[in-house]
């Protein structure tokens, strides 16, 4: 069973570049807004000049950086900005130590200047932020600290999302492979329909997800929580050509969407139609967490609407 609890219309884009919206304690956090988790009520929204990508957060602070792709430095993340979670104000900025950091902060005010000399966040460990220049900052003040927590080998924040970049995409077959332990989960596209199966290390099929007579479309984006793979499906093609003469120029297409839940151990699955919604486009899972009664799910549409759903445990 799936139930929608609330929805939110963002005055800006929900996420910019490669950002995301996520749960954090009693809040739902975006790079430009904060909502109450239980009701979806907006705490604040703000369009920042420099910080445009949420890196991580605590129960009091958002750690943001700036993603740029228009400079001699190529694509990259620069700058470290501490933003108050409650009021959305920039509490501190620390691009470097001492006078150099103050000078780099002044360069932030030059319109369109990339300022690629800024330091950037690497990993948040408790109340200590580790930067790419091996500096250790107090997350509440932005000042240098003597604390030296151990840094995990993976770096960055812990991820519950399996990013597509971590999978192998075989372009000639349109096949996604996810290697975990001694098994491989295979997402195989056939004329934009999906076929999901589990194979062992010898290539022997162990199970395959059956969809009956329903033809659904899958865009390759999914999340893993516990033993379950969760992903949205649509009854219409995800994208369509804008004009028949230019099939390579596409736009997102509206369709009725479903949430598929797949148990990766047994192959048991559920297909849950989204309730109380009109046809949607560009549907993405923003965050997914396990709770005592099931799952809580943040789903975005068209990078403007945010929906929160409660999914009860599979029987």
Cβ–Cβ < 8 Å for 271, 234: no
Residue 308: pLDDT above 60?
yes
Neighbours of 142 (CB within 10 A): 19
Convert the pLDDT of each residue in 89-142 to its tens digit: 999 999 999 999 999 999 999 988 888 899 999 999 989 999 999 999 999 999
d(CA 106, CA 83): 18
Residue 144: pLDDT above 90?
yes
Residue 15 — pLDDT band, cuts 50, 70, 90?
Answer: confident
pLDDT of residue 166: 34
pLDDT of residue 292: 86
d(CA 50, CA 134): 22
Residue 314 — pLDDT band, cuts 50, 70, 90?
Answer: low
Burial class of 309 by CB neighbour count within 10 A (0 to 12, 13 to 18, 19+): buried
Cβ–Cβ < 8 Å for 296, 21: no
pLDDT of residue 233: 84
pLDDT of residue 12: 83
Residue 236 — pLDDT band, cuts 50, 70, 90?
Answer: confident
pLDDT of residue 193: 46
Convert the pLDDT of each residue in 205-233 to its tens digit: 555 555 554 567 777 677 878 778 888 88
pLDDT of residue 161: 33
Q: What is the dihedral of CA 264, 266, 267, 271, to 10 degrees?
A: -90
Q: What HEC string does 166-224 produce?
A: HCEEECCCCEEEEEECCEEEEEEEECCEEEEEEEECCCCEEEECCCCCCCCECCCCCEE
The proportion of the chain whose per-residue pLDDT surpasses 70, expressed as a percent, equals: 74
pLDDT of residue 274: 92
**Who wins on pLDDT, 154 or 220?**
220
Q: Could you tell me the pTM of the whole model?
A: 0.77
pLDDT of residue 100: 95
pLDDT of residue 102: 94
pLDDT of residue 52: 87
Tokens of 45: 């929204």
The proportion of the chain whose per-residue pLDDT surpasses 90, expressed as a percent, equals: 39
Convert the pLDDT of each residue in 20-64 to its tens digit: 899 998 999 988 899 999 999 999 999 888 998 889 999 899 999
Q: Looking at residues 159-188, what average pLDDT do you find?
A: 43
């Amino acid at each position: 069973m799936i139930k929608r609890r609330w929805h939110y219309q963002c005055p800006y884009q929900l996420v910019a570049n490669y950002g995301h919206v996520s749960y954090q304690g009693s809040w739902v956090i975006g790079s430009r807004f904060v909502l109450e988790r239980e009701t979806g009520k907006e705490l604040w929204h703000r369009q920042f000049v420099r910080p445009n990508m949420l890196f991580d957060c605590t129960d009091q602070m958002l750690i943001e950086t700036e993603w740029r792709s228009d400079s001699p430095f190529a694509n990259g993340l620069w700058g470290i900005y501490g933003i108050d979670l409650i009021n959305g104000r920039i509490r501190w900025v620390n691009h470097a130590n001492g006078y150099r950091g103050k000078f780099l902060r002044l360069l932030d005010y030059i319109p369109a200047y990339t300022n690629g000399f800024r330091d950037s966040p690497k990993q948040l460990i408790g109340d200590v932020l580790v930067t790419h220049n091996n500096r250790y900052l107090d997350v509440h003040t932005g000042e240098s600290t003597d604390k030296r927590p151990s840094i995990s080998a993976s770096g960055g924040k812990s991820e519950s999302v399996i990013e597509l970049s971590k999978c192998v995409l075989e372009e000639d077959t349109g096949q996604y492979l996810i290697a975990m332990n001694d098994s491989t989960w295979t997402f195989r596209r056939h004329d934009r329909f999906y076929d999901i199966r589990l194979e062992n290390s010898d290539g022997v099929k162990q199970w395959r997800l059956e969809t009956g007579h329903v033809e659904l479309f899958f865009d390759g984006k999914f999340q893993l929580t516990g033993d379950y793979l969760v992903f949205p499906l649509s009854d219409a093609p995800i994208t369509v050509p804008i004009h028949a003469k230019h099939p390579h120029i596409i736009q997102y297409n509206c369709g009725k969407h479903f949430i598929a839940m797949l148990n990766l151990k047994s192959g048991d699955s559920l297909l849950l139609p989204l309730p109380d919604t009109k046809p949607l486009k560009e549907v993405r899972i923003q965050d997914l967490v396990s709770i005592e009664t099931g799952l809580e799910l943040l789903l975005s549409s068209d990078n403007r609407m945010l929906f929160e759903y409660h999914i009860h445990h599979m029987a």
